[in-house]
Structure 1
Amino acid sequence: MAGATWPTGGAMTMPIDHQDPDSTELLSTRSPGASPANGAALPAGTRLGRYRVESLLGRGGMGEVYRAQQLEPVRRTVALKLLRARTLDARRKAHFEIERQVLAQMRHPAIAQIYDADTTEDGHPFFAMEFIDGQTITRYCEDNALPLARRIELFVQACEGVQHAHQKGVIHRDLKPGNLLVEEVDGRALPKIIDFGIATASTLAGTHEVAGTPDYMSPEQAAGDQSLVDTRSDVYSLGVVLCELLTGQRPKLAGETVTADSRTLRRPSEQLDTLPPGEADRVAGRQGQPLAAMRRVLRGELDWVVLKAMQHDRADRYPSAAALADDLRRFLDGRTVLAVPASRRYAWRKFARRHRAGLAAAAVALAALVGGLALSLHGLMQAREQRRVAEQRSSELKKVVDFQQSMLESLDMQVLGARMGEALEQQVGAAAPDQGDDFRALLARADTTDIARGLVDYGLLSGAEAALDRDFADDPQLAAELRESVARVQSVLGLDAKAARTFASVADYRGAALGEAAPETLRARRAQVGALVASAEYDAAEAALRRSLPELTRLPANDPTRVGLELAQAEIVYARGDLQAARATRQSLLDGLLERYGEDDPAVASARGALAASQRQMGEFDAAAGNQEKVVASRLRQLGPRHDDTLDAQRNLAVLRMQSGRRSEAVQLQEQVAQATVARYGNEHPRSLAARATLGTMYADAHQAEKALPLLQSVLEARERVLGREHPETVRTRLNLATTHARLDDFAGALPLEQQVIETRSRRLGERHPDTLSIVVNHASTLRWAGRYGEALELLQDAAPQVLETLGERHPLHRAVLSIRADTLVRSGRHAEGLATFREAVEVRQRVLGERHHETLRTVWELVEACRQAGRDGEAERWWQSDLAPLLAADPDTLDEPLANLAGAIRSRTEAR
């Protein structure tokens, strides 16, 4: 599995717990008794091994399907598929043995289980499958006049079954309505996919015939080059089936299933328009839609879904069946469909449809809110007029300016959003009492904090900046004070790029008027640098910082502005990739502050937290955790539990606990941080996105990938929209999402995301930057789990010396390189090299972490397993007795969480043997 990476600071590669494969009842090897005669169907009563043929169910180009009885070890009705057109020689029989064991591992409600697979005496393959007494999915939908939403729900269930098989490494290659059956169980319709792996097995015969059904076949499959067929080929076939479910017929293509570079695909809505008027009305009516409404639904979104699934180029299709299913769920839930070209108009239209009941009342409430904000802005702009009218009343003017600054800076988006929600509920309750409960349910799904933040930015701050430029040109000092208030609000709202520009104009004016050494100038410059660092504009941040550093000695050493600028300097050094220099700067600053001011000074907590971040980046987790515990205690004591600095400190502590193996404590703490942050700022504020991204990564590392995947996907979409595709936080989230896909064995989803991260970081940070090296090692690990051992080893060959030279022997990434390389060598059959590398990995961990550290002992366990696999039982026993036996003999109550988890895993594996 790929190593986890963390959303704060440098990405770290964590050791991954070895997981046993899903327990599987392997298919036994048998020699059937009867061989089929050419041409004629098998007569009733014919025995094939432990199966007795009852009747012929169907016949195709590849063979026949029979209803049969399994006679032993249990009696049951099965569907027996005999591939009469194929015979397997000895070599291909060996391949077939491997293939059928893979097929046996599939366990999913939407997949007809394959009980057995074998060959007849003369080499004809056959499969015994679960007998499905049902109809094809298209016939079932038509006969039962299923509405559109129910058809899509059935189709989504089928997609989930396909995704399960893909994760097991099985491609269907012949998805069509005839292989997507629907049976009713307790009155509930359930889809069942049949013939999984049949087409795959048929190719083992070595002929050039293309397996599959031409009408549903992807272009690359039709071309006959099986090396080009992957999971996206099944996605294409699913797109054809979806079109048939929607319109009653397959899509019309120019050059259907041929290998032309381009072709024209008729959209489902266009295909519906080609039907005779009566037939088109019938198709729409059977789905519970008037024809006009059906056309709108298809043109709006479902056209795009079918087109994306059936793209001629595989790279342009949905990357997986799960992605296709997710987009259809979005359609059913009324959310934006990813296949539709992104536009604000489309997103707003979907939002309006989901919240139609409350929008009329919302318009009234929003008008009142905007009107109130406009009045506040009007009052703010009157300061100039007041100053001219009452020039001698400077004290009164100062009070007005202070009041207006306080008004802007104290805007609480959570409170503002909550008040708006309450006003909307009151409006709807008065106007339509019978819709009150429905509206409250809809409102609960909206993020009023995010709406309020966008409204304040659009309706107040943008107008305020324009008014300042227009009306305060002759009073730049007052304009700078007011503009600083606007910038602070922009920063609170997470609009870092805007805040940086606004703070820069304030700092530039004060530098010219008061000098760069003035406290007011340095304060604005500090805010500018912070906003630039937050928006990843490091070159601009460094240029602004250079203007202030010579003047800092005029401020006390513990002044927040001075400490903030000095820490920002270290942050920029880290961003350039020099971890040692950043750590040294932070350590020196902390030592000086402690000596002069003691532990309780707020500046000490800031410097200590920055040092803990450097220690974590260098892999010194225990030291970092000790420092971060002190920071959290100080923040709670001085600032309280809801302050931003306190939440940031707790989030960093949660990350350190996770990296130290204290997973349950880490997840529990980060859940609290994420909940508090979202409650205050809304889902899409940068602070909220950071907290949610960290939580998603922790879920993945705590073996809760099913919770991590949707959370990280939503964070990635938001960060791409809010921060841009190449912002460092967006890139880091893309990597964490790739890691989660890998944990679910979805390597087709993980590897392209990792490659995108490598390309972005190499271009923006350089190939030897720690963050770039981290993803390269992650990518090698994922290639290993995907079975692409040669590529993994080649990547590690280049990366290993760079990691050691850049980060040193003590860094976790160096240890990860050794373990991944060792495991990959063993898996590829190079046992001697693998064992030697595993021994080196153990020695490094013993030297760096100690002999009883949980990471050291886990690597010893991996070495023991590798020795046994290589037939080195004597060496395995020596390592076991010297290192692992004492761990298993220890009282569990005396072990910390990581060691207790490791001992439990070893016992489970030992007992399973």
Structure 2
Amino acid sequence: MTPERWNQVKTVLAAVLELAPEDRGKYLSVACADDAELRRQVEGFLDDEQQISTGFLEREALVDAAADFAERETSFWIGRRVGRYQIVESIGAGGMGEVYRAVRADDQYRQEIALKMVRAGSDSALVVKRFRNERQILAGLEHPNIARLLDGGTTETGTAYLVMELIRGRLITDYCRQQALGVPERLNLFVMVCSAVQYAHQHLVIHRDIKPGNILVTSDGIPKLLDFGIAKILSPEDQDTQDATNTLFRALTMRYASPEQIKGEPITTATDVYSLGVVLYELLTGESPYGNNTNAGEQSIKAILHSDPPKPSTVIRAVRRESETSSGKNRHGRYLNRSSQISADLDNIVMMSLRKEPQRRYGSVEQFAEDIRRSLHDLPVVARKDTARYRASKFIVRHKPGVIAATLVSLMMIAGIAITAQEARIARRRFNDVRSLANSLIFDIHDSIRDLPGSTPARRLIVERALQYLNQLVERVGRRCQLAA
């Protein structure tokens, strides 16, 4: 079996083992629909698992025992000293580690840190390898939005630990909700998270577990990306050995996992783009793209693999309608004021990041973040089809005062030209009327008195006055026509 094939088998098998026996067949029908050999290999491992399992590992009993053991193990470390640090309290737990708040206890200087230790009972070769891999990854990452590694080592009993910057913050979703942030503020916060992920990608590291639980926001509004425990190094010399030695390890969080993670396909930077898209969807709507009950069940897996989620603006409009028909305040009330702020551009940005095919998502996290920045400044985005009409509409939105002023000036100029042209037409009509009168004086009246005795002076006067008036009128009308032109 090749390392790539083993990676697929172990990923599907890890998901199957989390399901009840009666649900496993349905999941395999979905996950292995186009690969009968993959299903055969997974079912072979399941047969071995059933032969090994006996009645003492019932689900409820196992869960209770694990919880009791974890509580005892956590209590065991409180107050103990690890290296230069004394553990004060437990502040979190992950898939393979426990995180404690600790203080430096060597009398050199006072410092509070986060101390992460391999969870008791999880110190297999794979977990220890991943733990050391996380330490190596963090040692090479220096970014203001990534929790810093300060130290690391092993206890006297051989338990591996990391010493990290202590982040006092809240989950990014909780922070946005409690601070009642609007859409622009949420987007700016999210762009900072993208900056951290892009920095990791530039250092050939894929996080693979981006979710609100791994993004804390400090009281200063600075997001920090945590937990590179299942991160993947992209360097060719590390990739083969890392994937080849993986065993049954649940290297994903289903709610934020990409389709390729669920199917056990190759992982790329597009995987982190997808997970970031899920986080952004939640920041905008308060909902998961596939509902808030996402787990390893068949329906959830099928939705992630095959269903397109509704656009964020559609979700918000549905919530508004629900609120209007509800007699009391519903749980979505805090999101209603954002419905008008989610533009068509933002809808398309989110939906592009959540595409099923990795190659159809954004080419990089930086491109994803840049589209968000462009949407904030009403610039054309990659996620929308580029047309002249679309670009013109964005230009108008960006320069609305100038466009309005230019339109008003243009209308005033058009009105002025129309008025001037109208006056010129009136002047020409008057000129024609006067010319007709002058012609009548010169020719009709002149000719009618031509034969009267002593009419010569009168005829001369009529002709002179008519010509003088016509010349003045021609000069005046000519000036008006020049102005009108």
TM-score range, shorter chain: 0.5 to 0.7
Given that 2:135 and 2:162 are in contact with CA atoms closer than 8 Å, whether structure 1 keeps it comes out as no
For the residue of structure 2 that corresponds to 1:306, the secondary structure is helix
For the residue of structure 1 that corresponds to 2:284, the secondary structure is helix
For the residue of structure 2 that corresponds to 1:189, the secondary structure is coil
How many residues are aligned here?
Answer: 323
| Aligned CA distance change for structure 1 residues 255 and 298 (closer, same or farther; 3 Å) | farther
Distance 1:264 1:122 in 2: 50
Distance 2:209 2:147 in 1: 15
Q: Within the alignment, does 1:222 sit opposite 2:262 as a pair? A: yes
- The percent identity for this pair of structures is 38
Unpaired runs of at least 5, structure 1: 1-36, 372-913
Distance 1:341 1:182 in 2: 34
Distance 2:414 2:302 in 1: 58
Given that 2:130 and 2:230 are in contact with CA atoms closer than 8 Å, whether structure 1 keeps it comes out as no
Which of these residues, 252, 275, 287, is aligned with residue 249 of structure 1?
A: 287
Letter in 2 for 1:131: L
Deviations 1:233-264, CA, capped at 9 Å, x for gaps: 11111111111111112212695456976322
Residue number in structure 2 paired with 1:816: none
Residue number in structure 2 paired with 1:62: 96
Q: Within the alignment, does 1:334 sit opposite 2:378 as a pair? A: yes
Given that 1:272 and 1:280 are in contact with CA atoms closer than 8 Å, whether structure 2 keeps it comes out as no
- The structural deviation recorded for 1:81 is 2.1
- The structural deviation recorded for 1:312 is 0.9
Residue number in structure 2 paired with 1:358: 402
Q: Within the alignment, does 1:303 sit opposite 2:347 as a pair? A: yes
Which of these residues, 275, 278, 293, is aligned with residue 240 of structure 1?
A: 278
Given that 2:118 and 2:131 are in contact with CA atoms closer than 8 Å, whether structure 1 keeps it comes out as no
- The structural deviation recorded for 1:367 is 6.8
Q: Within the alignment, does 1:325 sit opposite 2:325 as a pair? A: no
Given that 1:301 and 1:340 are in contact with CA atoms closer than 8 Å, whether structure 2 keeps it comes out as yes
Deviations 1:21-59, CA, capped at 9 Å, x for gaps: xxxxxxxxxxxxxxxx96321332223333321111123
Given that 1:96 and 1:204 are in contact with CA atoms closer than 8 Å, whether structure 2 keeps it comes out as no
For the residue of structure 1 that corresponds to 2:210, the secondary structure is coil
Which of these residues, 294, 297, 310, is aligned with residue 266 of structure 1?
A: 310
Distance 1:338 1:243 in 2: 18
Letter in 2 for 1:154: L
Q: TM-score, normalised by structure 2?
A: 0.59
For the residue of structure 2 that corresponds to 1:319, the secondary structure is coil
Distance 2:362 2:333 in 1: 31
Deviations 1:786-821, CA, capped at 9 Å, x for gaps: xxxxxxxxxxxxxxxxxxxxxxxxxxxxxxxxxxxx
- The structural deviation recorded for 1:203 is 8.2
Given that 1:112 and 1:130 are in contact with CA atoms closer than 8 Å, whether structure 2 keeps it comes out as yes
For the residue of structure 1 that corresponds to 2:382, the secondary structure is coil
Residue number in structure 2 paired with 1:87: 123
| Aligned CA distance change for structure 1 residues 197 and 67 (closer, same or farther; 3 Å) | same
For the residue of structure 1 that corresponds to 2:223, the secondary structure is strand
Unpaired runs of at least 5, structure 2: 1-67, 234-241, 292-297, 324-328, 416-485
Higher strand share: 2
For the residue of structure 2 that corresponds to 1:54, the secondary structure is strand
Given that 2:137 and 2:228 are in contact with CA atoms closer than 8 Å, whether structure 1 keeps it comes out as no
Distance 1:125 1:203 in 2: 22
| Aligned CA distance change for structure 1 residues 126 and 59 (closer, same or farther; 3 Å) | same
Letter in 1 for 2:227: D
Matches within 5 A, 1:536-555: none
Distance 1:369 1:233 in 2: 57
| Aligned CA distance change for structure 1 residues 50 and 120 (closer, same or farther; 3 Å) | same
Higher helix share: 1
Letter in 2 for 1:195: D
Given that 1:63 and 1:82 are in contact with CA atoms closer than 8 Å, whether structure 2 keeps it comes out as yes
Which of these residues, 357, 361, 373, is aligned with residue 313 of structure 1?
A: 357
Given that 1:77 and 1:131 are in contact with CA atoms closer than 8 Å, whether structure 2 keeps it comes out as yes
For the residue of structure 1 that corresponds to 2:103, the secondary structure is strand
Given that 2:130 and 2:229 are in contact with CA atoms closer than 8 Å, whether structure 1 keeps it comes out as no
Q: TM-score, normalised by structure 1?
A: 0.33
For the residue of structure 1 that corresponds to 2:221, the secondary structure is strand
| Aligned CA distance change for structure 1 residues 190 and 280 (closer, same or farther; 3 Å) | same
Given that 2:134 and 2:228 are in contact with CA atoms closer than 8 Å, whether structure 1 keeps it comes out as no
Matches within 5 A, 1:19-38: none
Distance 1:182 1:94 in 2: 29
- The structural deviation recorded for 1:98 is 6.0
Given that 1:305 and 1:339 are in contact with CA atoms closer than 8 Å, whether structure 2 keeps it comes out as yes
User: Per chain length, whose mean CA-contact separation is higher, i.e. which structure has more relative contact order (CA < 8 Å, sep 6+)?
Assistant: 2
Letter in 2 for 1:349: S
Distance 2:305 2:133 in 1: 35
Distance 2:77 2:363 in 1: 45
Deviations 1:118-173, CA, capped at 9 Å, x for gaps: 45566654322110111111111111111211111111111101111111122212
| Aligned CA distance change for structure 1 residues 168 and 257 (closer, same or farther; 3 Å) | farther
- Kindly report the root-mean-square deviation, in angstroms, between the aligned alpha carbons of the 2 structures: 3.4
| Aligned CA distance change for structure 1 residues 174 and 122 (closer, same or farther; 3 Å) | farther
Distance 1:51 1:224 in 2: 40
| Aligned CA distance change for structure 1 residues 338 and 210 (closer, same or farther; 3 Å) | same
Residue number in structure 2 paired with 1:148: 183
- The structural deviation recorded for 1:207 is 2.5
Letter in 2 for 1:243: Y
For the residue of structure 2 that corresponds to 1:56, the secondary structure is strand
For the residue of structure 1 that corresponds to 2:163, the secondary structure is strand
| Aligned CA distance change for structure 1 residues 259 and 155 (closer, same or farther; 3 Å) | same
Which of these residues, 125, 140, 146, is aligned with residue 111 of structure 1?
A: 146
- Indicate the structure (1 or 2) with the bigger Cα radius of gyration: 2
Deviations 1:419-472, CA, capped at 9 Å, x for gaps: xxxxxxxxxxxxxxxxxxxxxxxxxxxxxxxxxxxxxxxxxxxxxxxxxxxxxx
Given that 2:172 and 2:223 are in contact with CA atoms closer than 8 Å, whether structure 1 keeps it comes out as yes
Residue number in structure 2 paired with 1:283: 334
